[in-house]
Amino acid sequence: MPQSIHPVSDRASPIDMALLCRTRPAVTTHRVAHACPILAHSPMRWGPGSDRARQIFSRLASHHPVLYLEAPMFAAIDAPTLQLSEPHRNVVRAVPLLPVELARKDDVARASVAALLDSTLMPARSNSPDHSLRLAERFSGAIQWFCSPMDAPAFIGRFNTVGAVYDRTAALATPQRLAPDFQERDRSLAQQARLVLLGDEAAAPVSRRIKCTGALDTQHMLARRAAWDAIVASIRARLSEAFAPTVHRQPLSPGFIAASLVALGLDQVPAA
């Protein structure tokens, strides 16, 4: 049976991440640190079951507009649609609704979602509704954030984005890790991403580790919030590092080069 869509209202130590930094795009550090949009591809619904994603993206949304794209839902409809809501300030939740005949055709469904995003984020290519024009401007030049490598082939490098983040810790916690081609796509995305997040196992079970009652509730909630604040502060610092523009150093002057060659005894070219 097709599922119905219900709009959602709203470690004790910092994250330990391994980074893979690639050639960097031409965006400024200030833009990444304070405004660069994030297009998040997540197999998890924005709700109680996606605690880690909500904790991270709701905090990132204080500085970055976030478009949270969920896995598609299926219904007896003729044409794909994209249902939008704003469950948290500066977070747009996008739920693709696809014809039910695509329910067991994962990559075909992803291609259909990519086409929906293309008409929403690149409205010049189609007759898009007014909200598409607003989203296109709001999420132009976004960083794509993948919570699973299964989605990457259909989306990476599209929609005028500037590069990719691979949240591998999130990916290894999803049922998609059991897919036959998960490992191949995992390796491919890790190679293509500018930033790979690893090793924050302590962050995932925060909600399970903190169990309290009565007068301790407020104390533990404050500790939990502080832990997530530290995690996201660390993520934002690494986003700035990974997506900062390449530093263009001034070329060495010919005089300096000549003096260095003399000092090293390399100023004379040996005769042939």
Instruction: For residue range 137-179, list pLDDT tens digits in order.
Output: 889 899 999 999 999 999 999 998 999 999 999 999 888 888 8
Distance CA 210, CA 220 (A): 7
Q: Among candidates 121, 157, 159, 155, which has minimal Cα distance to 137?
A: 121
Distance CA 253, CA 260 (A): 11
Q: Among candidates 120, 118, 109, which has minimal Cα distance to 73?
A: 109
In SS3 terms, the chain reads as CCCCCCCCCCCCCCCCCCCCCCCCCCCCHHHHHHCCCEEEECCCCCCHHHHHHHHHHHHHCCCCCEEEECCCEEECCCCCEEEEEEEECCEEEEEEEEEHHHCCCHHHHHHHHHHHHHHHHCHHHCCCCHHHHHHHHHCCCCEEEECCHHHHHHHCCCCCCCEEEEEHHHHCCCHHHHCCCHHHHHHHHHHHCCEEECCCCCCCCHHHHCCCCCCHHHHHHHHHHHHHHHHHHHHHHHHHHHHCCCCCCCCCCHHHHHHHHHHCCCCCCCCC
Residue 127: per-residue pLDDT:
54
Distance CA 136, CA 146 (A): 20
Residue 13: per-residue pLDDT:
31
Domains of the chain: 29-263 (3.40.50)
> Where do we find the tokens 């904790």?
55
Strand bridging mode 91-99 / 73-75: parallel
User: Which residues in the chain come in under a pLDDT of 50?
Assistant: 1-33, 126, 200-216, 246-250, 268-272
Residue 260: per-residue pLDDT:
58
Strand bridging mode 195-197 / 66-69: unpaired
Residue 125: per-residue pLDDT:
54
- Exposure b/e, 140-169, CB count within 10 A at least 16 = b: ebbbbbbbbbbbbbbbbeebebbbbbbbbb
Q: Among candidates 202, 171, 265, which has minimal Cα distance to 11?
A: 202
